[in-house]
Chains A and B, each alone.
Chain A
Amino acid sequence: SAVISQKPSRDICQRGTSLTIQCQVDSQVTMMFWYRQQPGQSLTLIATANQGSEATYESGFVIDKFPISRPNLTFSTLTVSNMSPEDSSIYLCSAKTLSNTGELFFGEGSRLTVL
């Protein structure tokens, strides 16, 4: 398994501002992903964070709104830009380990509230 640390764990933000969430994994992983979980909903994949290159975004998510970096194998950031109340959500960092079994592990999540 992997231990995934995210920060901030929660924040209250003003409309129009941006916030960057950091994700650190305690071991080398193959893949890192960012998910969003809106209140009462399941998990929706935002993008795959690729090491040293641009992230791969899912339909409905764009780089200008959710820029992602992954400078090395164990660290990634997600920025939520120009926030609106609709961005209030839990953002989850996740990773797959080198075990090659496809299992996905999650960080504790970052709960954002946009006023």
Chain B
Amino acid sequence: QKEVEQNSGPLSVPEGAIASLNCTYSDRGSQSFFWYRQYSGKSPELIMSIYSNGDKEDGRFTAQLNKASQYVSLLIRDSQPSDSATYLCAVNSDGTSYGKLTFGQGTILTVHP
């Protein structure tokens, strides 16, 4: 059973702080990793993708991947109340670009003013 585990939440941070979201995966052959944001009552929205070890930055978001440790994280700098949502980690579970994604259970993030 290929698994994706996220740090248990909920996570609460003050406005302007850095929010750190973590995810581990069990399948060493996984090649593609994604972070989705899901607002309450809405469908998931892709915010970051990462394919190689290291950091990838996009605005206030930084994704970090460590394949040796089977670990992927998402940092949100200067957190805003509008970042309050559930964040889902997703991993390509069959090693191809066309494969299906396995999702973690999600971490609820609350950014309070």
Given A45-B100, A45-B102, A92-B43, A104:B88 Cβ within 8 A: no
Interchain CB contact under 8 A, A105 and B103: no
CA–CA, A44 to B96, complex, Å? 19
Binds B, one of A14-22, A64-72, A75-83, A106-114: A106-114
A43–chain B nearest beta-carbon distance, Å: 4
Interchain CB contact under 8 A, A102 and B98: yes
B-side interface mostly: loop
Interchain CB contact under 8 A, A107 and B102: no
Interchain CB contact under 8 A, B46 and A31: no
Interchain CB contact under 8 A, B103 and A43: yes
Within B44-89, the residues touching A (CB, 8 Å) are: 44-46, 49, 51, 88
A45–chain B nearest beta-carbon distance, Å: 6
Interchain CB contact under 8 A, A104 and B101: yes
Most buried by A among B34, B100, B104: B100
Q: C-beta contact mask, B87-113 vs A, less than 8 Å → 1, else 0?
A: 010101000111111111110000000
What are 12 A-B pairs with beta-carbon distances under 8 A?
A: A31-B100, A42-B88, A42-B104, A43-B44, A44-B103, A101-B51, A102-B31, A102-B34, A103-B46, A104-B90, A106-B43, A107-B43
